[in-house]
Structure 1
Amino acid sequence: MNKRNDSQAPVRKSRLLPGSLQGQYLIIVLAAFLFIPVIIPLASLTYTIVQWSSKSDMESGAKYGGTSGLLSDWHAHAANMEGKSDAAIDEALIELKRRYPEASMFWVDANGATRSQLPPQLDIPAQWTPEEAIRFMKASIGKDPYTVIAFLGKENAGSSFMTIRMPREAISTGNPNGSGTPYYIAFVFVMFSVFVAMSLLFFRHIRRRLLRLQSAMARQDEHGIPEPVAIKRWDEIGALEYSFNGMVAQLRDSRQRQSEEEQLRKSLVANLSHDLRTPLTIMQGHLYQLREEPLSPKGQQSVSVMQGKAEGLGELIDNLLAYTLMTSGRYKLTLEAVDIVRLARESAASWYPLWEREGLEVDVRLPHEQLIWQGDRAGLQRMLDNLFQNVVRHARDGGYIGLALEKRHGRPCLVVSDKGRGLNSESSATGAGVGLAIVDYLADSMGLVRETASSEEGTRVYLYEKTNDGRGYF
């Protein structure tokens, strides 16, 4: 008994585990369902955090603290103008100009008059009305330069106001809004690529394992049995591989049992043939002596029938022994050039006394020209003997046997014919099956074809050589 290896271990039950194909597939399906409702919002949240962080970094690293820093500083400067005279405010504004050299600034007193434009600005009116102030504020929102208006006094509650106009490039870090968009797109693309890659790897892995199993099925040993496969993973395909290995093991066991039974049968037939031959020979000898004794006509007839049956049994034993040797590969054939016409004529001559005794009309039509076949002379002789014997046993009631050379399928063909009731009719004789099996085996071994045409009017057996591609004509 062979020990069971890992590839023949018991199959585990399929469970919803990541190691099983079912579990892996469900994980991929779950990832597909969660991609839009989870991954997209997660990417948006990440994008918002990145944008907020970028904006904070930009503000903290910008000149003058960015827009928010400039706004708070300017309001603080305006609050410090509480109680100062116009001249002091002008001086303070000049000092602020030194602090913010890129900016332009001015202030408007309580009477609406423009004071201290640093530098002079053409779009600033000399006298302000409420309508002009409102239009100026609306026009400055979100524009470049960045404009901050602050009323003078504590809590910026005065009627006078001061204005600073700073070019946005002076307070910008150079990072435009939406600078995190490429990262957002990259994140979504990477997540989608990971999902696609997982799917492709999953199905590629399954395909490779199935192709390996298919390749194993195509590999066969000398008996046509596939080779077993090694089970690497215990999942659904592993169960299929285990079942395949079980089938291969059953085929091998069946093949081994069949080979052992065939060998036993051949040995039994060979032993029986040898064991039966000795008593049969003794029986034939005693029957021959009985025929020499003075017997009544009925006695002589009985001895003649027994002698005929003994001869038939001897031929059957010979055929069984020969067929056993052939199928076991111990029947040696020597192929040589044989004149089949001459061999058929000699064989017919040796059978002629028996045909005449059986009352058969003999019709031999063989040409004088040679017809050379490559074959074993003894094997060809045995084929003809078996065909002639079948006619004597099973078609003697037709009273005819013919041997001729004809053309069939464009090739010369040796024909053995009779006028019996055909192969499908019942016959009291036995042994025809073994005889024809021997004919077929020898014909195939020597590159010949046996073709039979049978009807109620008789049977014709054709023997001819195969074509160059190894096929006969049918």
Structure 2
Amino acid sequence: MSRYLLIVLLALLFIPVMFALASLALVISAPVTRSLDTNTSQYGSAADLESAWHQEAAMLANQSADQINRRLKELKGKYPDASLFWVDVDGGTRLQLPQQAGLPLHWTASSAIRFMKESVNRDPFTVIALLGKDDSAKAFMVLQIQRSLLRHTAPLGYSTTYLIGFMVLMFVLFILLSWLFFRQIRVRLLGMQSAMALPADNSLPLPIVQHKEDEIGQLEGAFNEMVVQLRASRQREREEEELRKRLISNLSHDLRTPLTIISSQIYSLRRDVPGQSAQKALSQIEGKIGDMGSQIENLLSYTLMASGRYTLQTERQDVLRLVRESAAAWYPHWEKEGIDADVQLPEQPLIWNVDKEAFRRVLDNLFQNVARHAGGGAYIGIYTEEHEGTLALVIADRGEGMDTDSPGKGAGIGLAIVDYLLREMGLCRQTAGSMEGTRVYIYPRAMDSNF
């Protein structure tokens, strides 16, 4: 911020400071440029030449024609590139050095005025001096010389072009200074932006090397502190995840043993306890134990899947045959629960790349959901239907469905396992619910070309 304010201050003082610097540069450079310009012409400047010519004319006042001719010849030797002539008091053109065409032999007032007007600010440079000390003199002498042979009146450093060039140079330097300042800020900000972008592997960003203690440096320090906190948080998350997985795995193994013992005790009680009501109660207990065992199995499987230790071996299978086998295994349970099974599958095989046991696990979980959450509809339909441009397997019911808050609804681990297994096998699940029931569609992903 202090450097930026310094640049703003320089901008406010730019014009007066530049004028002061330009004046100082002119004062310093004037002797040098004057010495350089002195050697550029043997005739000096126009002002010097005009002053010398008028002095010569003053000295020739009241001199005879011969004396004037002799002096002009001497001056011709001093100014060899110049043209000289003089006019006497009667208006006659006298000595011409060299001879010039177009000069009038006799001068009148009008011709003299016209000659002077045509010579003003023209090339050659013309000096007209009266041969006398007052304006009443009528004789005059003339010197003409090319302007390119003369030295400039003022040194080069005093020219307007030089002043403008110096101002432009200072302005360019100021713009360059400002550009370098903001470019440095931009480079540092782009470096921070690049560091903040997450890598392709979704790992944490790397810390930034802090070079300065300015505002951007403080921002870099805050970013580095955030990276440290994120790394610590990510490490704690990993540790908690590992602890949770170990806990679930241990609980799943530990609960299996008491459930097995309880199941065996129920089997013994069936033989020893008479009465229909007692047998019915034991059947309900046995069913709940079976459900608990299934949930524990799902929990253990989900833990293995989340840790990446559940591997699948896919191969080309007729999934309709697998559906028929699973439905046949579930048919006694549906009949016991009073669920009418409507299985209408085509005779033509439907070949998908699946893992046989994983696909059966998917079917078992979906059939169990229908029995648990949609048993009131007393119906399950299994058929195929065109969906999303491909042939899909459909499992339908007429109950409240798995998407409602049914009394037996759990944490959704079974459906999480279903989605994981389907995704690993390149399949999709889509659920459509309505007042008439729920339909679950299973079909290959469109991007997958293995089907």
Give the TM interval when normalised to the shorter protein: 0.7 to 0.9
Matches within 5 A, 1:47-446: 63=42, 93=68, 96-101=71-76, 144-149=125-130, 165-169=142-146, 173-175=150-152, 180-223=159-202, 225-431=204-410, 433-446=412-425
Q: Does 1:17 pair with 2:33?
A: no
Distance 1:397 1:365 in 2: 22
Shift of 1:75: 7.9
Mark the CA change 1:147 to 1:400 in structure 2 (over 3 Å): closer, same or farther: same
Mark the CA change 1:59 to 1:413 in structure 2 (over 3 Å): closer, same or farther: closer
Amino acid at match of 1:383: V
The question of whether the paired residues in 1 share the 8 Å contact of 2:379 and 2:398 is answered with yes
Amino acid at match of 1:17: S
Aligned residue pairs total 437
1:150-173 CA deviation, whole Å, 9 max, x = no partner?
Answer: 75xxxx79x999965433459963
Amino acid at match of 2:2: L
Distance 1:113 1:361 in 2: 147
Amino acid at match of 1:461: V
Distance 1:160 1:298 in 2: 158
Distance 1:160 1:54 in 2: 40
1:430-469 CA deviation, whole Å, 9 max, x = no partner?
Answer: 5461111110110111011111122343222121111136
| 3-state secondary structure, aligned to 1:337 | strand
The question of whether the paired residues in 2 share the 8 Å contact of 1:63 and 1:171 is answered with no
Shift of 1:178: 8.8
Shift of 1:30: 3.6
Q: Percent identity?
A: 42
Shift of 1:341: 1.0
Equivalent position of 1:5 in the other structure: none
Distance 1:54 1:390 in 2: 102
| 3-state secondary structure, aligned to 1:468 | coil
Amino acid at match of 2:264: G
Q: After alignment, is 449-458 or 141-150 more displaced? A: 141-150
Distance 1:211 1:68 in 2: 63
Q: TM-score, normalised by structure 2?
A: 0.78
The question of whether the paired residues in 2 share the 8 Å contact of 1:316 and 1:431 is answered with no
1:165-197 CA deviation, whole Å, 9 max, x = no partner?
Answer: 433459963447796344334323322322333
Amino acid at match of 1:332: T
Q: After alignment, is 242-251 or 324-333 more displaced? A: 242-251
Distance 1:116 1:298 in 2: 159
**Gaps (5+ residues) in structure 1?**
1-15
Q: TM-score, normalised by structure 1?
A: 0.75
The question of whether the paired residues in 2 share the 8 Å contact of 1:390 and 1:432 is answered with no
Q: 2:18 aligns with which of 39, 46, 66?
A: 39
Mark the CA change 1:412 to 1:117 in structure 2 (over 3 Å): closer, same or farther: closer
